[in-house]
Amino acid sequence: MEGTLTARDKVGVQDFVLLDAHTSESAFMDNLRKRFSENLIYTYIGTLLVSVNPYQELGIYTMRQMELYQGVNFFELPPHVYAIADNAYRMMCSELNNHFILISGESGAGKTEASKKILQYFAVTCPMTESLQIARDRLLLSNPVLEAFGNARTPRNDNSSRFGKYMDIQFDFQGVPVGGHIISYLIEKSRVVHQNQGERNFHIFYQLLAGSEADHLAYLGLERDPQLYKYLSQDHCAKESSVNDKNDWKTVSDAFSVIDFTEADLQNLFGIIASVLHLGNIRFQEDDQGCATIPDTHEIKWIAKVVCPLTLELSVYARDAMAKAVYGRTFTWLVNKINSSLVNKDFTQKTVIGLLDIYGFEVFDKNGFEQFCINYCNEKLQQLLIERTLKAEQAEYETEGIEWEPIQYFNNKIICDLVEERHKGIISILDEECIRPGPATDLSFLEKLEEKVGKHAHFQTRKLAGPKGQKRIGWMEFRLFHYAGEVTYCTKGFLEKNNDLLYRHLKEALCGCQNSILRECFLAAELENHRRPPTVGTQFKNSLSSLLEILISKEPSYIRCIKPNDRKEPSEFDDFLVRHQIKYLGLMEHLRVRRAGFAYQRKYEHFLQRYKSLCPDTWPHWPGPPGEGVERLIKYIGYKPEEYKLGKFINGFINRHQPLSPNNEEFLVFVRKNYILNLRYHIPKNVLDKSWLQPPGILENASDLLRKMCTRNLVRKYCCGVTAEWTAMMQQKVVASEIFRGKKEGYAESLNQPFVNTRIDEGDINPKVLQLMDSEKIQYSVPVIKYDRKGFKPRQRQLILTQKAAYVVELAKIKQKIEYSALKGVSTSSLSDGILVIHVSPENKKKKGDAILLCEHVFEVVTKLAMLVKKENLVNVVQGRCRCGGSPDGGMHLSSINPVSVQLRQAPGKQEFDPVSYVCKKKHASGSSESITSEDTE
Ligand SMILES: Nc1ncnc2c1ncn2[C@@H]1O[C@H](COP(=O)(O)OP(=O)(O)OP(=O)(O)O)[C@@H](O)[C@H]1O
C-alpha cells in the first residue's frame, strides 16, 4: 500500500509517517516546504491532517473534487480536508457512533476555512431529501451571520473569529444531515469599545453602515461614515479594510431570511447595533460637584433616557460596560435563535459529527485577560489530544501486547492545573480577589499570585525572575510557560473583566426596555436574584469542562493548521514561524508515536471486509474467526513479519463467554477496564436521565450494582439541592396535576413552567404592560394584587395601561369584589382560553357577582387559589367553551354572574364570551378609562 502511495505522490511524502528521517525536524520542514511550494497544502501524519494556509484560491474545492473523495478509502487519494470529512462520515454511518473534528492552529492558520469546507462537503455529498434541504441551507448560512457578529479584523487575520465555536451536525439513520446545534465560547466583548492599532470592531457594524439602505440608516439615526463613530474609528483605518462590507451585508441579509429571522427580529437586532454605536458617541462633562453630565443629548434620544450621578471616569466605564453587555448578550441571543432554526424536531436517535473551530494560541505584544482565557483553552485541547492520541495509543499497544518503545512527550496537565485547580489555581485566586472585601486591585491580584503560585515552575513575575529575566517582565505582568511557548500577561483589567459587572440601574433600564431581544437578554428575575453570578473566568472554565465532556465521548479526527507567514502572502514560507508551530502543535511527537506504531490500524472484521477480495481463501467469504482470516490474507499478499502486527484481541474475544482461563483472561480484564473507563463519560446527569451504558455480558451484575449506586447518589444530590420553595412548588404541582391532568388543554406544556411566588407584582406587570403598550396610553389607577403563601396583599399602583392591558385590570378586580372567605369555587374551561371564573358565596354574589378573569397562568393561579382557601375539590374544569346563559352543549355556565355580567346582558343568548374584547369595546363606547372599572360595570 505504501509503495503505491509514494509512486503517486511525487512531491515529498504525503504522509510524514513515510519519512525516512522521521525524528528530524528539518526533514519534516523540508517535506512541508517542498509540498507547499507546489501548492500541495495538505499532508498526513497517519490520520491527522496537517494543513498549511495557501493564502490563495487553489481550485481544490470543486464539485469534482468532492465527488472524487466521496466514499473512497482514506489512504487511496492524496491528503485532503475532504478525506477527513468523508472518513468521519463513513465511520459514523457504518459504526453508528458520534465523531468530532478538532481544528486547531494559531490565528489566521485557516481553521474557519477548513470548517467551512467540511460543512460544504457534507452539504453537497450527503444524501438529501427535498424537505431537508432547508436544514442544510440553514446549517450553511448560519456561518456568514455568525461571522458578521463574531469575527473582526486583527493584524493576524482579516476575518478572525473572536469567539470559539463548536457545531454539531446531526444525521439521521440514513446519513442525511437533519439539523445542528452551535455552542459559542467567550466572545471578545472588549472589542466593542476598544480595538488596538490596525484592528477593527466586529464586521457587522461596518456592514450595516456600508450596505444598508439610506432610509434604514436614517431610521436608526446613523450616517454611512464609520469614522463618525467613536467605537469604530479608534485605529484610523476603518475604511482601508480589505473586507468588502457592502457585499458581505448582502450575504448576511440574505442568510437572515433563510434562517428564520422575522422582520421584527431584524428591526430589533439592528436597533441594538445602532444603539451601541450611539452609546459610544455619548460624551460626558464634569459639573461643579464632580458629577458627569451629558452636554449633547442628541445620541440619547436614540437610546433611552439615562440619568446617573457618576463621576466622569465612572460614567465612561458605565457606558462601555453597557455597550459590552448589550453586544455580548445579543450575540448569545443570536446563537440561540440560530439554534432554534437548526433544531430537528423529530426525536429519533441521531448521530453527530462535531466541528470545533476555536481560537488558536495567541501571543501579542500586549496580552490581557482574553489571551489568558484563549491560551488556557488551547492548553485544555492539547490535554485532550494527549489523552486521546499519545497516551491512548501507547496504552492500546500495551493492551494488545504489541512490542513498543515508549515515546517521551510533554504532558501539559501541570499547566492546566496551574490555571484551573480549585482553590489553588490562577482562576480561583482571581475569583477570590474579585469577591474579597477591601480594596482589591490588579496589582494586589498579582501579589496574591506571587504568594500562592510563585514557586510553580511554569509561572514567573518580575519579582520572581532573576536579574537576567527582570527586564523582560513589567511590574504589572506575569508570565506563563505554556506548552506552546512563553506568554507574558499584563494584569491590568483582569479584575474588571473577570467581574464583568453592570450597574444595577442600567440593568433595570435594559430589563424594562421596549426592544424585545434585550428584554429576553436582561430578565427581571436577574435583578431579584441577589446571588453573585459566577465570574467570567469560572464560567469559561466550566464551559470548557463541558466541552471536553462532549468531545471525549466521541471519536476524534484532527486537523492541525499552520500559518506559513505573518504577511498573509501566498507562496511565502517563513521557516522560523512554521518551525515554531510544528513544535507547539506537537507534530513531531505525534509523528514519533504514529511511526513507532502502525500507520494503519483496523479491527479484524473491518480489515477483512475491505481487503478480502485480494486473496482466494478469504473471497468471497471467510468462514472462520476474522483474526485468522486477516492472518491468511496478509501472508498471501506477502507482507514481511516486521511490517505488520496482530493484536491479542482475538482469542479472548472468541472465548469471552467461557469461564475465566488464560485464553480469555486478558481480554476480560481489557473489557472490564474499557467498560469502566467508558462509563465515566456516560454517567447519567440527573435523576430523570435513565440512560446507562450497555454492559458486556460478563459485567451485567457489576453494572447493575453500579447503576443502583449511581441512582442513589443522584437522588441524594437532588434531595440536598431541594429548597423549601421548591418543595412548596412541587406540592402545588401535585395539586395542579390532580385538578387538571387529562382535563384541560395545555396542561402537559405547563408542566415545566415553574410556579413563582410573586406572579402579580410590579416586576411582572411592568414588562407586560410595556410590551402591550401602544401609542394610546391612559393613566390608570389600579389595585394590584400580590399573592404569596401568606395570602393576597393589595397595593395601589399608578400604571400606564393600554386597552390591550385591560386583562391586568380584570385580574385586579378580584380584590375589589370578593374576600377570600367568600370564595366558593373556581371554574375553568377545558380549552386553552386563559379564562377562569371565581364563584363567590350567594350573599357576596348579590353585591358583586362572580369574577371572570383572563389570565396567562391559569394553571398556577387556579391551583394557588384553590390551595389558599383549601378547596381543591371545588375546582371545576368544564368541558367546552365559556358561554353565557345556559350551556346545553356542556360549555361553562356563567348565568350566576351578577353585576359584572353587564357584558352578559349585552351579549345575550349563547354568544361566546370574550372579556378582553368586551372590555375594549366598553372602553371605546365611553371613550374614557373609567369605563373599565368595576364600579362602572356595576
Ligand atoms: N484553504 C484555504 N484556501 C485559500 N485561502 C485560505 C485557506 N485557508 C485560509 N485561507 C485564507 O486565510 C484567511 C484566514 O483563515 P481563517 O479565517 O480560516 O483563519 P483562522 O485560523 O480561523 O483564524 P482565527 O483564529 O483568527 O479565526 C482566510 O480569510 C483566507 O483568506
* Burial annotation 191-206 (CB, 10 A radius, 16+ → b, else e): bbbebeeebbbbbbbb
pLDDT at residue 638 is higher than 80 = yes
Around Cβ 905, how many Cβ atoms within 10 Å? 10
Determine the Cα–Cα distance for residues 516 and 506; give it in Å rounded to an integer. Answer: 16
Residue 868 half-sphere exposure toward CB, CA atoms < 13 A: 21
From the candidates 211, 360, 425, 849, give the one annotated as an active-site residue. 360
Amino acid identity at 349: Q
Q: In this predicted model, what pLDDT tens digit does every residue of 448-473 receive, in sequence order?
A: 999 999 999 999 999 888 777 677 88
User: Nearest to residue 543, comparing CAs of 722, 356, 415?
Assistant: 356
Amino acid identity at 100: F
Amino acid identity at 813: K
Cell of 523: 430578565
Determine the Cα–Cα distance for residues 108 and 531; give it in Å rounded to an integer. Answer: 40
Q: In this predicted model, what pLDDT tens digit does every residue of 787-814 receive, in sequence order?
A: 344 443 434 333 333 333 334 444 444 4
Q: What pLDDT, on the 0 to 100 scale, is given for residue 538? A: 93
Q: How far is the CA of 519 from the centre of ligand 1 (A)?
A: 36
Q: In this predicted model, what pLDDT tens digit does every residue of 420-431 receive, in sequence order?
A: 999 899 999 999
- As a whole number, mean pLDDT of residues 359-384 equals 89
Q: What pLDDT, on the 0 to 100 scale, is given for residue 921? A: 33
Is residue 841 flagged as an active site residue?
no
Q: DSSP class of residue 535?
A: P
Backbone φ, ψ for residue 398 (5° rounding):
-65, -50
Determine the Cα–Cα distance for residues 61 and 47; give it in Å rounded to an integer. Answer: 20
* Burial annotation 782-797 (CB, 10 A radius, 16+ → b, else e): bebbbbeeeeeeeeee
pLDDT at residue 270 is higher than 80 = yes
438-442, 626-630, 652-656, 845-849: least confidently modelled range: 845-849
Is residue 108 flagged as an active site residue?
yes
Query: With a 6 A CB cut-off, is 108 part of the ligand 1 pocket?
Result: yes
Query: With a 6 A CB cut-off, is 335 part of the ligand 1 pocket?
Result: no
Peptide bond into 439 cis (omega under 30): no
- Element (H or E) spanning 104, and its range? strand 99-104
* Burial annotation 35-64 (CB, 10 A radius, 16+ → b, else e): bbeeebbbbbbbbbbbbbbbbeeeebbeee
Nearest CA to ligand 1 atom 29: 159
Query: With a 6 A CB cut-off, is 828 part of the ligand 1 pocket?
Result: no
DSSP of 813-880 = HHHHH--GGGEEEEEEESSSS-EEEEEE-HHHHHHT--EEEE-TTHHHHHHHHHHHTT-GGGEEEESS
- As a whole number, mean pLDDT of residues 210-220 equals 93
Which of 43, 53, 101, 163 for a ligand 1 pocket mutation test, highest count of atoms within 8 Å of Cβ? Answer: 53
Is residue 701 flagged as an active site residue?
no
Query: With a 6 A CB cut-off, is 253 part of the ligand 1 pocket?
Result: no
Select, from the ranges 60-64, 96-100, 515-519, 902-906, the one with the highest average predicted confidence (pLDDT).
60-64
Q: What pLDDT, on the 0 to 100 scale, is given for residue 332? A: 95
Is residue 362 flagged as an active site residue?
yes
Q: What percent of the chain has pLDDT over 70?
A: 76
148 is in an annotated binding site: no
From the candidates 113, 362, 477, 860, give the one annotated as an active-site residue. 362
389 is in an annotated binding site: no
Q: What pLDDT, on the 0 to 100 scale, is given for residue 867? A: 76
Q: What pLDDT, on the 0 to 100 scale, is given for residue 168? A: 93
Determine the Cα–Cα distance for residues 751 and 349; give it in Å rounded to an integer. Answer: 24
Q: Compute CA 636 distance to the chain's CA centroid, rounded to the nearest angstrom.
A: 53
Its ipTM equals: 0.99
- The answer for residues whose C-beta is within 8 angstroms of residue 621's C-beta and 6 or more apart is 612
Is residue 665 flagged as an active site residue?
no
306-310, 403-407, 526-530: least confidently modelled range: 306-310
Which of 153, 158, 159, 186 for a ligand 1 pocket mutation test, highest count of atoms within 8 Å of Cβ? Answer: 159
Is residue 341 flagged as an active site residue?
no
- Element (H or E) spanning 52, and its range? strand 48-52
Angle made by CA atoms 528, 530, 534, in degrees to the nearest 5: 120
109 is in an annotated binding site: yes
- The answer for residues whose C-beta is within 8 angstroms of residue 510's C-beta and 6 or more apart is 322, 325, 326, 518, 521, 522
User: Nearest to residue 385, comparing CAs of 418, 356, 417, 420?
Assistant: 356
pLDDT range class, residue 757, cuts 50, 70, 90: low
* Residue with grid cell 461643579, as numbered in its chain: 288
From the candidates 31, 104, 112, 378, give the one annotated as an active-site residue. 112
Determine the Cα–Cα distance for residues 698 and 695; give it in Å rounded to an integer. Answer: 8
370 is in an annotated binding site: no
Q: In this predicted model, what pLDDT tens digit does every residue of 124-177 receive, in sequence order?
A: 999 887 767 888 888 899 999 999 999 999 888 899 999 999 999 999 888 889
pLDDT at residue 26 is higher than 80 = yes
pLDDT at residue 782 is higher than 80 = no
Q: In this predicted model, what pLDDT tens digit does every residue of 373-421 receive, in sequence order?
A: 999 999 998 888 887 776 666 666 766 666 666 777 778 899 999 999 9
Mean pLDDT of all residues in the chain? 78
Among the residues of 343-424, which ranges form H helices? 369-385, 392-400, 413-420
